[in-house]
Chain A
Amino acid sequence: MTMTIAYEARGLGTSPCYPAGFDGGNTDTCFATFIEGQEHITVLPSAIALGSVARLDLLRSGVHGVPTAHERYHQDVLVSYQGVDYFVGYMAMRHQKLATTQRGDETRYASRDQLLRLLAASGLTIPTTAYTLELVTTLPVGYYTRQLRRQVRACLEGEHVFQLNGQQRRATIRVRKILVEGPPALVLYGADSARQQRLLIDGGGYTTEFVVLDGFEPLPELCRGVELGVEQIGEYLAEQVQERYQRKLSVRERSDILRAYGSQRSGHPEAYPTIACGRTSIAAAELASIVREGCLKVGELTLKEAASLWGITNEVVAGHIPYHYHVGGSVWFYHDVLRSKMPHLRAVEQAELVNARGSMRIAQALCS
């Protein structure tokens, strides 16, 4: 993925400085920056688990072995920070039953785990041993309080020395701005509606943000965050597989099935995993059917929330608002369900990356 925007990394002390956007979501962590005029993005599962150095020998890929975001997703990552080893991302889901993404935990955004996600993702993206980040990150609408923003700054800012897959690294982080999730997408995709009233539905892993802006001015009374997202589809999937096949899905299997389903629409199709159930395995079509059922349920709940917040005009939810955008990973799951009552709702390209990518552009503007 390349960009034509030229950005010259400038030194800050002894380490090069990069504008950075960071979205440490409930399902995936996304980090974006410019390096030598090119946009670089890293996406990792947000799962974290306690690890061990002994497992380093099992690492199958190097720090910079895979160039694109989609392939890097499965990369093994071990972060050592303040004397403790952690598996981050897919490796945490693969090797540990106690892996957590801190889903639904408000304090996750100002936690050590969130810092580890940022260190891992930035370290995988930036080749230099020491680097400085001019960071813009986001919070869900429901959590966007002054207190939490201060806690996020306190947690992330500063100089952090850590090891990434055995290599010593030093990251100096300066939080330039904390935004509500969703609006950064308009930096990339909202030029046509820059002077209009517009709404965003940012459906992520566990939260969905409903945001209305008049140009660049948010209308807080028309904004809301709810605990709805793709992970609820995963929960439905796990319940149904348990009920129909008496088979418990692991976190990794659940993630793989959801990614396979979403990838069919994202342009990077991935195969469904084999889910063994004793003498047989569950057919991919059956898995897709169950996920589809979950999509309908979560999509309809999302529509109900949108209708209660924005109202209905001539049978169209928020029909009085001219521009509707759908961003976040939910685009790949129930965009069509939302469009049944919001026919003007438009998905954006690479919808799951928009918060990090847009935030990074804002960081760049702050640095210039």
Chain B
Amino acid sequence: MPRNTEEFEYVQVPFPKGSAVVQHLREEARRYSGRAFVGPHIALLLIDRDAHLYGSAEGQGRGIWFPPAYLARLPPVAEEPPLQDVEAPVKMSEAEVVQAQARAMVRMQFGDDDEA
């Protein structure tokens, strides 16, 4: 397989045995009737993959790092107020509030209720 050293750097990368990437490599190698070298298409994939995995500190960091743009935006759950204190029984509202609720309930209609 010819190498284009002008445009690419060639590095050794370990892959898990039987992994999908290895299968791709083997498939590409068959096309070229040679050994399983990384061709241009797989190389671009690997560059993109490396950018995800090691792009944090130019290959020096060990941890997997994703740039912020790749992170799903989750609601800040911890900042939400608790729904309710579910242990304690609900206490009766103040008298004025009860009166307001009663006035609102007067207008309630259920089903075929036409007697409000």
Contacts and interface: CB of A to CB of B under 8 A. Distances in A.
Interface stretch (B13-21, B33-41, B44-52, B106-114): B106-114
A191 B108 contact: no
Interface stretch (B23-31, B65-73, B84-92): B84-92
B9 to A, nearest CB: 48
B104 A216 contact: yes
Most A-side CB within 10 Å, residue of B95, B99, B105, B107: B105
B83 interface: yes
B111 A144 contact: yes
Interface in A157-205: 177-180, 183-184, 186-192, 194
A345 B105 CA distance: 22
Contacts, number: 101
Contact of B93 (A178, A191, A218, A325): A191
A323 B93 contact: no
B110 A218 contact: yes
Interface string A343-368: 11111110100000010011011100
Interface residues of A, number: 44
A217 interface: yes
B74 interface: no
Interface string A135-147: 0000000001110
Contact of A189 (B93, B104, B110): B93
Interface residues of B, number: 30
A67 interface: no
A216 B110 CA distance: 10
A207 B79 CA distance: 40
Given A178-B115, A189-B93, A349-B91, A217 B99 contact: no
A362 B89 contact: no
B102 A349 contact: no
Contacts of B95: 3-5
A272 B111 CA distance: 43
A220 interface: yes
B86 A343 contact: yes
A365 B115 CA distance: 15
Interface of A: 3-5, 144-146, 149, 177-180, 183-184, 186-192, 194, 216-218, 220, 223, 322-323, 325, 339, 343-349, 351, 358, 361-362, 364-366
Lowest 9 CB-CB distances: which A-B pairs, in order? A361-B102, A365-B102, A348-B90, A191-B93, A189-B90, A187-B101, A5-B95, A365-B103, A218-B110
